[in-house]
A and B are shown apart, each in its own frame.
Chain A
Amino acid sequence: ELKVEQNPLFLSMQEGKNYTIYCNYSTTSDRLYWYRQDPGKSLESLFVLLSNGAVKQEGRLMASLDTKARLSTLHITAAVHDLSATYFCAVNSGSARQLTFGSGTQLTVLP
């Protein structure tokens, strides 16, 4: 059974600081997703990482994938309040390509 673990689960950070969220998964997968969820809202796709060494950046967020280590990171640069949300990683598995989600990282950016 595929396990997806994120850490930290809760993160409070000051505006302007940098931080990294980690996503580990237990079995081989060739695709990893990062989603953002605002309170009471649905999931918004941020990144799709398709291969080992893939790196994608959008604004202050950068995601990377190491399939050998079964690890993805979401790096936040110079955080701003608008980035406050819950971030989920999700991994494809199985013949039907189901998504298995991590528990999420609740990010709060403080002024």
Chain B
Amino acid sequence: EAGVAQSPRYKIIEKRQSVAFWCNPISGHATLYWYQQILGQGPKLLIQFQNNGVVDDSQLPKDRFSAERLKGVDSTLKIQPAKLEDSAVYLCASSFISGGKGNEQFFGPGTRLTVL
């Protein structure tokens, strides 16, 4: 079974530029998550989708971050404009369902963003 795919793996941009990340979850997984992991910290949830609807985006900085999952499968996360403090690894995860025994999340390899 293929895992969670993410691209690009690495991205270096200058502050105030825009950047987009892509995620393709495990086939059949209805729930998709985007996390931000700053160096030396645990992942922090940015947004959670159930199919193509947003379940939780309370920690997403909506003035600069946006995410979509239009067809309920793959997803994109965008930052516009980027700030220095956005330097982090952006992890995508998916689970079969949200809640219950299908809640176990499987993580992709991440995208390491460096903002100069």
Q: Could you tell me the distance in whole angstroms from the C-beta of B74 to the nearest C-beta in chain A?
A: 17
Asked whether A92 is an interface residue with its Cβ less than 8 Å from the other chain, the reply is yes
Question: Can you name 16 extra interface pairs (CB under 8 A) apart from A33-B104, A98-B48, A102-B42?
Answer: A4-B42, A40-B112, A42-B107, A42-B108, A44-B107, A88-B42, A92-B103, A96-B48, A97-B98, A97-B99, A98-B56, A99-B105, A101-B44, A103-B42, A104-B40, A104-B42
How many A residues, CB 8 Å from partner?
Answer: 24
List the interface of chain B (C-beta within 8 A of A).
Answer: 33, 40-45, 48, 50, 55-56, 91, 98-99, 103-110, 112
Q: A42-B109, A92-B103, A94-B56 are in contact. Are A101 and B42 (CB under 8 A)?
A: yes
Q: Could you tell me the distance in whole angstroms from the C-beta of A107 to the nearest C-beta in chain B?
A: 14
Alpha-carbon distance A102/B50, docked complex (angstroms): 24
Alpha-carbon distance A89/B83, docked complex (angstroms): 29
Q: Could you say which of A31, A43, A92, A104 contacts B91, with CB atoms under 8 Å apart?
A: A43
List the interface of chain A (C-beta within 8 A of B).
Answer: 4, 31, 33, 35, 40-45, 48, 88, 90, 92, 94, 96-104
Residues in A with CB closer than 8 Å to B56 are 94, 96, 98
Q: Could you tell me the distance in whole angstroms from the C-beta of A63 to the nearest C-beta in chain B?
A: 14
Q: Could you say which of B48, B103, B107 contacts A31, with CB atoms under 8 Å apart?
A: B103
